[in-house]
């Protein structure tokens, strides 16, 4: 990724995902904004905390609810240079989940480390 | 009475409030994001296990499958499809939705 893009500088963006998929539109909206934002070549990180960790569950099958299964899109993020996905360990633990349950490679970090990630970010977008 | 819960037990207190107000012989149906409460080995599942002694617990299967948690639903919970949802609503004189 280049240091400078035409007409602007590269900022550290953090997308904070805290909602389960399908029950609300937040998870899908977040993904769409991330994909749109990817065109602007910013330094993008995604954080999954609280119910947001459910977004990354393997084995989602939405045929029965007649909604789009957008979970495979997380695997496509790499192709848009969105490679920094952070998942909070405490959130996984509370929900009986482990890294192996997730559809993409992520970095599992502690709540404390998540706090630091938030503090280092210049733009925080919450979903 | 049929109770429905559609939010995760981590996001809202509707799950806890529902269980606190369900009477013996009632049915509780977990739908939409409410289905996560029935995942094996979690704190909400323990509460459901306790509640299941007095009330019947159901989860809506299409919502379970959508969320990738089929096969991780605790024992003692019955899976129903949309037709089963309709049957439950018809069998009980009242339906209370814990939103």
Q: What is the pLDDT of residue B44?
A: 98
Separation in Å, CA of B59 to nearest CA in chain A: 14
Average pLDDT over chain A, rounded to an integer: 94
Which residues of chain B have a CB within 8 Å of the CB of A50? 10-11
Separation in Å, CA of B56 to nearest CA in chain A: 23
**A62 at B interface, C-beta within 8 A:** yes
Q: Token pair for residue A122?
A: 């210049």
Band of pLDDT at residue A7, cut at 50, 70 and 90 = low
Rg of chain B taking only CA atoms, in angstroms: 12
Q: What is the pLDDT of residue A5?
A: 52
Predicted TM-score of the model (pTM)? 0.94
Please answer whether residues A51 and A18 qualify as being in contact, where contact means their C-beta atoms are separated by less than 8 angstroms.
yes
**Quick one: what percent of chain A has pLDDT higher than 70?**
94
Q: Give the residue, A9 or A6, on which the prediction is more confident.
A: A9
Q: What is the pLDDT of residue A10?
A: 92
CATH number of residue A74's parent domain? 3.40.1260.10
Measured on CA atoms in the order A106, A111, A113, A119, is the torsion positive or negative?
positive
**pLDDT tens-digit series, residues A48-87:** 999 999 999 999 999 999 999 999 999 999 999 999 999 9
Q: What is the pLDDT of residue A86?
A: 98
Q: What is the pLDDT of residue B74?
A: 98
Give CA separation, B44 vs B39, B73, B95, in Å.
Answer: 8, 12, 22
**What residues make up the domain containing A105?**
3-126
In the predicted structure, residue A37 carries a pLDDT above the cut 90: no
Phi, psi dihedral angles at A57 (to 5 degrees): -60, 135
Separation in Å, CA of A122 to nearest CA in chain B: 27
All domains of chain B, ordered by start, with CATH?
A: 2-94 (3.40.1260.10)
Scanning the structure block, which residue is given the tokens 């049929």?
Answer: B2
Q: What is the pLDDT of residue A8?
A: 78
Which residues of chain A have a CB within 8 Å of the CB of B70? 59, 61
**A22 at B interface, C-beta within 8 A:** yes
Nearest-by-CA chain A residue for B10: A51
Q: Token pair for residue A107?
A: 């970095």
Please answer whether residues B98 and B18 qualify as being in contact, where contact means their C-beta atoms are separated by less than 8 angstroms.
yes
**How many domains, in total, are found in chain A?**
1
Which residues of chain A have a CB within 8 Å of the CB of B62? 63-65
Interface test with A, best of B6, B61, B66, B97 (most A CBs within 10 A): B66
Q: Which candidate from B33, B42, B81 shows the least CB-CB separation from A95?
A: B42
Band of pLDDT at residue A38, cut at 50, 70 and 90 = confident
Question: What residue ranges of chain B have pLDDT lower than 70?
Answer: none
């Amino acid at each position: 990724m280049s240091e400078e893009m035409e007409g602007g500088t590269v900022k550290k963006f953090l997308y904070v995902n805290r909602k389960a998929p399908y029950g609300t539109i937040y998870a899908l909206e977040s993904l769409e904004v991330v994909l749109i934002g990817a065109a602007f070549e910013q330094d993008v990180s995604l954080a999954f905390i609280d119910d947001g960790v459910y977004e990354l569950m393997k084995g989602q099958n939405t045929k029965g609810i007649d909604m789009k299964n957008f979970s495979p899109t997380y695997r496509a993020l790499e192709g848009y240079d969105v490679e920094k996905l952070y998942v909070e360990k405490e959130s996984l633990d509370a929900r009986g989940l482990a890294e192996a349950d997730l559809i993409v490679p992520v970095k599992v970090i502690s709540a404390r480390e998540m706090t630091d990630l938030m503090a280092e970010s210049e733009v925080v977008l919450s979903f | 009475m049929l109770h429905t819960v559609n939010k995760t037990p981590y996001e809202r207190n509707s799950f806890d409030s529902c269980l606190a107000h369900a009477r013996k012989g009632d049915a509780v149906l977990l739908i939409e994001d409410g289905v996560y409460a029935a995942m094996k080995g979690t704190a909400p599942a323990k509460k459901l296990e306790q509640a299941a002694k007095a009330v019947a617990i159901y989860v809506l299967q299409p919502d379970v499958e959508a969320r990738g948690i089929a096969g991780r639903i605790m024992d003692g919970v019955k899976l129903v499809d949309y037709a089963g949802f309709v049957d439950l609503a018809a069998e009980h004189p009242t339906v209370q939705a814990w939103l």
